Amino acid sequence: MHTNTNKWGALHNNETNHPKVIKCKAAVAWEPNKPLVIEEIEVAPPQANEVRIKVVATAVCHTDLHHLLESMSKDGFPVVLGHEAAGIVESVGSGVTEFQPGDKVIPLFISQCGECRFCKSPKTNQCEKGWAATGHDVMASSNYRLTCKGKKILQFAGTSTFSEYTVVNQMAVAKIDPTAPLDKVCLLGCGVCTGYGAAVNTAKVEPGSTCAVFGLGAVGLAAVMGCKAAGAKKIIAVDINPEKFEKAKVFGATDFVNPKDHSKPISQVLSEMTNGGVDFSLECVGNVGVMRSALESCVQGWGVSVIVGWTNLEDCSTRPIQLIAGRTWKGSVFGGFKGKYGVPQLVEAYLDKKVKVDEFITHNMTLDQVNDAIELMKQGKCIRTVLHVSPQ
Ligand SMILES: NC(=O)c1ccc[n+]([C@@H]2O[C@H](COP(=O)([O-])OP(=O)(O)OC[C@H]3O[C@@H](n4cnc5c(N)ncnc54)[C@H](O)[C@@H]3O)[C@@H](O)[C@H]2O)c1
Ligand SMILES: [Zn+2]
Ligand SMILES: [Zn+2]
């Protein structure tokens, strides 16, 4: 039997013209707290309503580290991590009309089926379909499309982008402007949309307001950018790593606080700087102690605090009087964006130079170097590392 590749790299069986299994390279996480291993995996053809994507570029987000190093998940392995990516549709399964081979796309870790009551409501982006609906940690648990050495491999957040190819349900794919540079806009697959949207959509930052952003990774820096775009007049950037402050200035931060420089609780420091507390705070760390500080840094009466950092290991708590006094505590996934609408819009905003993306990228590497990229983030030495997986 002969096979051919089309111009997007699709492997087709000549007699039936149906897509075949692809053997390709991926970084497999066989178990928690161990380096990823570059393996040859098999990627199944897309089934009904699925899209197989050639991953061009993927970045490393802290949520990948959380799953690998912090979540204590025993069931969540072996898995291919990675969820912040951009690529090109290689082939589509039956029933797919929205996409065709060659389309430039960004996989979505929050699906948008368009039909459920959440998709139909303008109040949320939390579709009830997709991996999130299974309630199992952060992956598609029922349908396996990836295998390695005869073992089924889980798909992290339903995406798995630390791989040359992946298969995603069409409800979890956004089509983007074909002129967009995929090795840049991959960051819109998670970190940049998450932080920016948390400020603009979830906190609903107001012009002239005072904001505090805790944690200055890509998510926090994008939140700073969102606060600035919304017209905040004072944006206090908080991080225990002072090397992050220079970057925060680029995105619009006006004041900088390192909790390690103070013996008082950080909420008191911010309260003194702002005559009683900030109007809006955003927690972009994933630490329940910081979540409490962020809430308690808000002014009574109307302060709004948004939890963006990702953790589900411990309770977060505060005294009820903090909320009785008029503060609001909220959370945000993917910045509240419905992916199929929000991602293409942000790609356009980037192409129109209305949002920054390039400035988040501190390192460029190949998929083979994924463990180095993870190490850089662990040590706080990068903002985003883009892994160049396949040529555009
Ligand atoms: N809600 C969502 O949809 C969503 C999406 C993406 C990421 N996340 C989460 O957002 C968080 C940030 O992700 P990232 O990729 O920017 O991570 P990152 O590791 O690049 O950045 C985290 C930053 O927090 C700082 N930090 C650590 N402890 C701190 C403390 N006590 N006080 C102040 N700053 C502190 C670190 O120095 C670092 O600069 C993670 O928890 C990630 O899992 C959530
Ligand atoms: Zn992420
Ligand atoms: Zn839905």
Q: Which residue has the CA at smallest separation from atom 22 of ligand 1?
A: 217
| Ligand 2 centroid to residue 300 C-alpha, Å | 31
**pLDDT for res 9:** 52
| Ligand 3 centroid to residue 333 C-alpha, Å | 14
Q: Which residue has the CA at smallest separation from atom 2 of ligand 1?
A: 333
pLDDT tens for 250-299 read 999 999 999 999 999 999 999 999 999 999 999 999 999 999 999 999 99
Q: Which fold has domain 9-189+357-388?
A: Quinone Oxidoreductase; Chain A, domain 1 (3.90.180)
CATH 3.40.50.720 in the chain is located at 195-332
CATH architecture of 195-332: 3-Layer(aba) Sandwich (3.40)
Q: What does the pLDDT profile of the chain (392 residues) look like in tens digits?
A: 344 455 555 555 444 457 899 999 999 999 999 999 999 999 999 999 999 999 999 999 999 999 999 887 888 899 999 999 999 999 999 999 999 999 999 999 999 999 999 999 999 999 988 766 554 444 555 578 999 999 999 999 889 999 999 999 999 999 999 999 999 999 999 999 999 999 999 999 999 999 999 999 999 999 999 999 999 999 999 999 999 999 999 999 999 999 999 999 999 999 999 999 999 999 999 999 999 999 999 999 999 999 999 988 899 999 999 999 999 999 999 999 999 999 999 999 999 999 999 999 999 999 999 999 999 999 999 999 999 999 88
| Ligand 1 centroid to residue 6 C-alpha, Å | 41
CATH 3.90.180.10 in the chain is located at 9-189+357-388
Say what the pTM is.
0.95
Three-state SS for 96-156 is CCCCCCCCEEEECCCCCCCCCHHHHCCCCCCCCCCHHHHCCCCEECCCCCEEECCEEEEEE
The number of the ligand nearest the C-alpha atom of 118 reads 3
The number of the ligand nearest the C-alpha atom of 190 reads 2
How would you classify the pairing of strands 210-214 and 384-388?
Answer: unpaired
| Ligand 1 centroid to residue 212 C-alpha, Å | 14
The number of the ligand nearest the C-alpha atom of 128 reads 3
CA-238 nearest atom, ligand 1: 33
Which residue among 285, 316, 381 has the greatest number of ligand 1 atoms within 8 angstroms of its CB, and so is best to mutate? 285
| Ligand 2 centroid to residue 190 C-alpha, Å | 5
Angle, helix 266-273 to helix 288-296, in steps of 10 degrees: 30
46/167 Cα distance (integer angstroms): 6
| Ligand 1 centroid to residue 13 C-alpha, Å | 45
The number of the ligand nearest the C-alpha atom of 287 reads 1
Residues lining ligand 1, CB < 6 A?
A: 61-63, 66, 190-191, 194, 214-220, 238-241, 244, 259, 284-287, 290, 308-310, 332-334, 377, 380
183/159 Cα distance (integer angstroms): 17
Token pair for 390:
């396949």
